[in-house]
Amino acid sequence: MSEDRAVMSLMFTEEDFQDAWKELDEPQLDGGWELFTETMGVKIYRLYDKETGLYEYKVFGVLATCTPELCADVYMDLTYRKHWDEYVKELYEKDFDGQSAIYWEVKYPFPLSNRDYVYVRERRDLDVDGRKIWVILARSSPQTACAEKSSVLRVKDYKQSVAMESDGSSGTKVFMNYFDNPGGMIPTWLVNWAAKSGVPAFLTNMQKACSNYANYCQKK
């Protein structure tokens, strides 16, 4: 096992991957999850986190026009994301003192400070009783030696899991679970807007990005 893989395997367990793909079959919504919004075929549930006063989200939906393998490739391609995600200020993977991690700066609307993330991720292409399922897990990595910028707030508590499989046609069934604590004083309206509008818009943009990916790869 490579050193990078060893570090990552400490971050994510077999159970983490199983928990993600199992939600495609049976959404786990006991324990206080509530339907937050349903739009464009996407259902978003949320769970209140008493400790932070913030919500964790689960997203269930279908991307009708792209295959799960293509979705996974697009989702993993950080350079390409800078072309199609207007909220990306900086995004790259690099070695920080021997540990590979991703640095991501997100544009926030004026007068709020931008936020940045340092995180690790792992993708696994699984075969579950003949079903092909793609799972990508990400989690903030506060121990990574990446200096903070004075004008940007570091998000120290971030997690995201994505599971994808074919919808039985030419599309992709998607499950996404995420939480982040952006810190600072963020108005509730902005948090709600990001969840209600931002997530469906992200999925729409990603679908468009999938359809343009072959052209992008040819031009590289």
The 8-class DSSP code of residue 171 comes to S
Mind listing the pLDDT tens digit of every residue in the chain (220 residues)? 444 444 444 579 999 999 999 999 999 999 999 999 998 788 999 999 888 888 999 999 999 999 999 999 999 999 999 999 999 999 999 999 888 999 999 998 888 899 999 999 999 999 999 999 999 999 999 889 999 999 999 999 999 999 999 999 999 999 999 998 888 888 777 777 778 888 888 889 999 999 999 999 998 7
Query: How high is the pLDDT of residue 92?
Result: 97
| pTM, rounded to two decimals | 0.91
Among the four given CATH numbers 3.40.50.970, 3.40.1390.20, 3.40.462.20, 3.30.530.20, the one describing domain 14-219: 3.30.530.20
Q: At what angle do helices 199-219 and 68-76 cross, to 10 degrees?
A: 80
Separation CA 143–CA 118 (nearest Å): 9
Cβ–Cβ < 8 Å for 165, 91: no
CB neighbour list of residue 18: distance below 8 Å, 6 or more residues apart: none
